[in-house]
Structure 1
Amino acid sequence: MYFNVRVYGLLTTDTKEILISDEKVLNVSFTKFPGGGLEYGEGLIDALKREFMEECQLEIDIVRHIYTTDFYEKSSFNDSQIISIYYQVQAKSPILFDIKTSPFDFSKEKQQEKMEVFRFMPIDSLQEADLTFKTDKMAWHQFRELIL
């Protein structure tokens, strides 16, 4: 048993939209916020900035902390315990990566073990049920409380 520390960003736009990621790993599809795992020797902020650069080719700034997992969550992919930290982030550079409009639109993606596409959803439309993992649902609930 070991811990798996994850860090995610809630990226919003001036047009009141939020970025979500549709992914497929080993034939399991899920929707979550962009981000990923902490690497050894890395801090949370550096990890989140690295993840956004790797996944979106996007430089970000941290706006504020939103949520940290406060319950037991077992990984869906191995025997680790997940600890997730969520931040509100903003883009430091223009958004140039491919944005999809339909969920799980992997049509132009090369078929591989892990596929990931991004889409923006109106903040008013995104529901907890649209997100797959309990930690993302909790973070979304906390974020909605902050902005309402």
Structure 2
Amino acid sequence: MEYFNVRVYGLLVNDRNEVLISDEQEYGQRFIKFPGGGLEIGEGLIDGLKREFLEECEAEVEIISHFYTTDFFVRSAFNDSQIISVYYMVKNITSLNFPIKTIAYDFDGKGDVLQAFRWINIADLTTDDVTFPTDKRVVELLRAEL
């Protein structure tokens, strides 16, 4: 284990009780996660999450509350780091102007880095709907709040 990798994610829930998830292809792998990503040096968690939503979704978000921070060991799927993930409940304060897909990995275009978004009703959400261990834990917590 070389270093800690701090990640920050937003749980955006719409008025139909659906949560936004991100289908991605990068590093030669496909995975499904919540919107967000890695913290940059000199950046706080909130600023990092707002930047990630601007980069990925072209949307500004407001942080509503802290939801979960990793409380078990997770090794990165991409390198030799230990992942620490922080999740916040968020709401969009600008419109969401990107295509919403209904099928996993329904990417527009081609390339090394691809991303598409889907809504999944929290009542239907399962740990199989996401790839990474911390996201699976967050799914369990979201479902427990129903």
1:144 CA displacement: 2.6
**Unaligned segments of structure 2, at least 5 residues:** none
**Unaligned segments of structure 1, at least 5 residues:** none
Alpha-carbon displacement from aligned partner over 1:4-38 (angstroms, at most 9, x marks no partner): 00000010001111100001113211110000000
Indicate conservation of the 8 Å contact 1:66/1:143, yes or no. no
Q: In structure 2, the residue corresponding to 1:54 is in which secondary structure?
A: helix
Q: Which TM-score applies when normalising by structure 1?
A: 0.94
Q: In structure 2, the residue corresponding to 1:126 is in which secondary structure?
A: coil
Alpha-carbon displacement from aligned partner over 1:25-63 (angstroms, at most 9, x marks no partner): 132111100000000000000000000000000010111
**CA distance, structure 2, for counterparts of residue 70 and residue 16 of structure 1:** 26
* Aligned sequence identity (%): 54
Aligned length: 145
Amino acid at match of 2:36: G
Which stretch of the first structure deviates more once superposed, 48-57 or 134-143? 134-143
Aligned pairs for 1:1-148 within 5 A: 1-106=2-107, 108-109=108-109, 111-145=110-144, 147-148=145-146
**CA distance, structure 2, for counterparts of residue 85 and residue 122 of structure 1:** 22
Indicate conservation of the 8 Å contact 2:21/2:120, yes or no. yes
**CA distance, structure 2, for counterparts of residue 140 and residue 62 of structure 1:** 19
**CA distance, structure 2, for counterparts of residue 12 and residue 88 of structure 1:** 8
The alignment yields a C-alpha RMSD, in angstroms, of 1.0
